[in-house]
Amino acid sequence: MTPEQLATGLVWYVVFLLSLTCHEAAHALAALWGGDPTAARGGQVTLNPVPHIQREPLGTVAVPILSFLFAGWMIGWGSAPYDPLWRDRHPRRAAWMALAGPLANVALVLLAAAGIHLGIVAGILSPPESARFTRVVAGTAAGYSTGLAFFLSVLFSLNLLLASFNLLPIPPLDGNTAIGLVLGEASARRFAHFTNHPGFAMIGLIVCWKMFDYIFEPVFLLALNLLYPGAHYG
């Protein structure tokens, strides 16, 4: 591995770990506010990545590194524990808990967008001629501005992907539980019981994996054109 590839992998991992930590910490905090201290007792209400790594070392360390080495990008997972009895008693609170994770990723997309525009105003960043996942913004010179552009591009795109993916209303994703926000308590409880089955989870993940490229591409293009009004990326 060259020094450039090593630096690229390090940036990817920092962004991945930040994104995952914020996502899981948001779940844990929303659950605590909703009356379930399970994740808080496990140390998950924190932006310190260590407790999240300790809970899911395979999804937070091994799989991201291996996916980068073999595919050039990172995939992985984390988790925040919750009390199933609490979820059954308070399905709407559980829905807010589920929604909190993707909303944290949306917040990071907005933070990246703000950083991109500040960099453009400062003259160290510029809109790219052609955009892609790791090139949402370009540096105006070699060196730190190029590195900053890569960091902000990955931060923007990865969190857009995580938010979009997790909001799909398919088990076992967060969007499936968040449906409880538009249902009455009794209906939300019945819906949770019906979809909370390992078979649905496996089928749901396969369906999401197959269809997500068709979903994310228009979402990504919409986000780019909102980031750069009038640019007409396509």
> What pLDDT is recorded for position 205?
67
- How is residue 224 written in tokens? 């780019």
Distance CA 53, CA 159 (A): 19
Strand partners, 199: none
> What pLDDT is recorded for position 197?
66
> What pLDDT is recorded for position 204?
64
> What pLDDT is recorded for position 209?
72
> What pLDDT is recorded for position 210?
73
Average pLDDT over residues 215-232: 92
Distance CA 141, CA 149 (A): 10
> What pLDDT is recorded for position 5?
84
Query: Percentage of residues in the chain with pLDDT exceeding 90?
Result: 67
> What pLDDT is recorded for position 200?
57
Q: Quick check: 141 pLDDT over 70? A: yes
pLDDT digits (tens, 9 = 90+) for 170-180: 888 898 889 88
Average pLDDT, the chain: 90
> What pLDDT is recorded for position 185?
79
The helix/strand count (H/E) of the chain reads as 11, 2
Q: Is 15 exposed, middle or buried (0-12, 13-18, 19+ CB in 10 A)?
A: buried
> What pLDDT is recorded for position 232?
81
pLDDT digits (tens, 9 = 90+) for 83-138: 999 988 999 999 999 999 999 999 999 999 999 999 999 999 999 988 999 999 99
Strand partners, 172: none
> What pLDDT is recorded for position 120?
96
Give the amino acid at 85. Answer: L
The answer to whether residues 38 and 83 touch, using CB atoms and an 8 Å cutoff, is yes
80 vs 38, 55, 83, 137, 234, CA distance in Å? 9, 8, 10, 33, 37
Q: What are the residue boundaries of the structural domains of the chain, listed by start?
A: 3-227
The answer to whether residues 36 and 48 touch, using CB atoms and an 8 Å cutoff, is no
Distance CA 223, CA 187 (A): 34
pLDDT digits (tens, 9 = 90+) for 165-207: 999 888 888 988 898 888 877 887 887 777 776 665 667 667 7
Q: Quick check: 211 pLDDT over 80? A: no
Q: Quick check: 27 pLDDT over 90? A: yes
> What count of other Cβ atoms lies within 10 Å of the Cβ of residue 151?
17
